[in-house]
Amino acid sequence: MQAITLLKDTPALESALSFYLARVNHMVPLKPLAWEATGTQIYLPLWKEHADEDAAYLEGVTPRALPKIAKKLDDWADEFPEANHDARRSHASDVVGAALAVVLHERGWKLHTEVPGDARFQDGDVEIYPFRVMEDLAEGTLRRRFGINSVRPRESLPWS
């Protein structure tokens, strides 16, 4: 049994807690937001900001280039400013994921955020998890799992 099941009227409890924390921290109280709206209302603006901040790293990068970059992800990640290798690699993957998420949304792909931190975009029968793309390409699993050809690799995407 999950602990959350022991609570009664969790929406009211969450609301009361957020109002209390806002008052204590002198913040504007949060407005209720349906979980289905978090992707477009919360995550997309953050991803757009992230992609814009790191646009210089994405200059000249197209979907067609992603498999080659993924095979040499460690080399490409060395261009990022973090102190250790794992943080640079994570940053590099995240910036591609953020840019790809923004572009997919702009092109009409439906965003699903059922699992926090694991965004999924869908266009018909094709699904892409943009924040897994670089690791999946590096491991050779993207084409098999998500159908990379659906990303229209000949197009140059406007990352920023």
Instruction: Give the tens place of pLDDT for each residue, 35-74.
Output: 888 889 889 999 999 999 999 999 888 888 888 999 998 8
Residue 94 lies in a domain: yes
Residue 67 domain-assigned (yes or no): yes
Give the rounded distance of the alpha carbon of 76 from its chain centre.
19
Q: Does residue 29 fall inside a structural domain?
A: no
In a domain, 14, yes or no: no
Please, what is the average pLDDT of the chain?
A: 80
| Report field, pTM of the whole predicted structure over 0.85 | no
Residue 119 included in any domain: yes
- Total number of domains constituting the chain: 1
Model confidence pLDDT, tens digit, residues 60-111 = 888 888 889 999 988 989 988 887 888 998 999 999 999 999 999 999 999 9
How many Å apart are CA 125 and CA 16, to the nearest integer?
41
Q: Does a structural domain hold residue 2?
A: no
Alpha-carbon 129 to chain mean position:
8
What pLDDT band is residue 147 in, cutting at 50, 70 and 90? very low
Tokens of 77: 């990640």
Residue ranges making up the domain that contains 83? 36-151
Q: Give me the DSSP letters along the chain.
A: --GGGG-SSHHHHHHHHHHHHHHHTT-PPPPP--GGGHIIIIIHHHHHHHHHHTHHHHTT--GGGHHHHHHTHHHHHTTS--SSHHHHHHHHHHHHHHHHHHHHHHTTPEEE-SSTT--EEEETTEEE-GGGHHHHHHHT-HHHHH-GGGG-TTSPP---
Would 128 be classed as within a structural domain?
A: yes
Q: Is residue 60 domain-resident?
A: yes
